[in-house]
Chains A and B, each alone.
Chain A
């Protein structure tokens, strides 16, 4: 069964460093998403991406964040200068069409020290 994959599973970084989280969506999917979950809190929407551009972003997704689809299979989330409060589980999701639901990857646990 096709699935969304994410790497790395755990990333530890120093405050102020740049990190790139990687996702491989399901191969025929067209819509891509990033969510995050701070420990003990809700899963929160960050950004959606379609046709090589951002469709929607939340108030969390400020200038420190960017997304890219560098090739036909990867979808990345970059945090330019990490803060302690960026420590969270980051989930990538993809969907096949506008009315399809979203399938989530296993997540990357980001720890900012």
Chain B
């Protein structure tokens, strides 16, 4: 299935860089958009959650959703070596119920000191 597409990388940046991670999707019914971070041999950890279009900021992280283009982004400012992980986008098409999540393949990010 190609519902959610995400460039797997790997992406390697120096400490302090701004990182941009992106996903595209095909299902216009998706309304809930999430970014998860996954460290090696761990489960996905929720970073950001947005509903419909717009921006959401949380510390060094900003999530953007453009439903007209079916495109979502995660920006990481002042990246740190501890941000090194795989970043997964996920989406849901439920109106008021978060049902099954559809994931991208994940982008592997390395931030080097």
Give A contacts to B, CB under 8 Å.
4, 6, 33, 35, 41-45, 48, 55-56, 58, 91, 95, 98-107
A42 x B104 contact (CB < 8 A): yes
Within 8 A of A (CB), among B76-90: 88, 90
Contacts of A100 in B (CB 8 A): 98
A107 CA to B43 CA, complexed, in Å:
6
- 8 closest A-B pairs by beta carbon, nearest first, are A104-B43, A45-B100, A43-B103, A98-B97, A104-B44, A106-B43, A42-B103, A107-B43
- Cβ-neighbour of B96 out of A33, A44, A98, A104 (below 8 A): A98
A82 CA to B99 CA, complexed, in Å:
27
A35 CA to B43 CA, complexed, in Å:
11
A99 x B98 contact (CB < 8 A): yes
Map CB proximity to A onto B42-81 as digits: 1 under 8 Å, 0 otherwise: 1111100100000000000000000000000000000000
A9 and chain B: residue at smallest CB distance = B41
Contacts of A4 in B (CB 8 A): 43
A78 CA to B16 CA, complexed, in Å:
46
B98 x A91 contact (CB < 8 A): no
B98 x A44 contact (CB < 8 A): no
B99 x A55 contact (CB < 8 A): yes
A102 CA to B4 CA, complexed, in Å:
18
A105 CA to B44 CA, complexed, in Å:
8
Least Cβ distance of B30 to chain A in Å? Answer: 14
B88 x A43 contact (CB < 8 A): yes
- Cβ-neighbour of A43 out of B41, B44, B49, B98 (below 8 A): B44
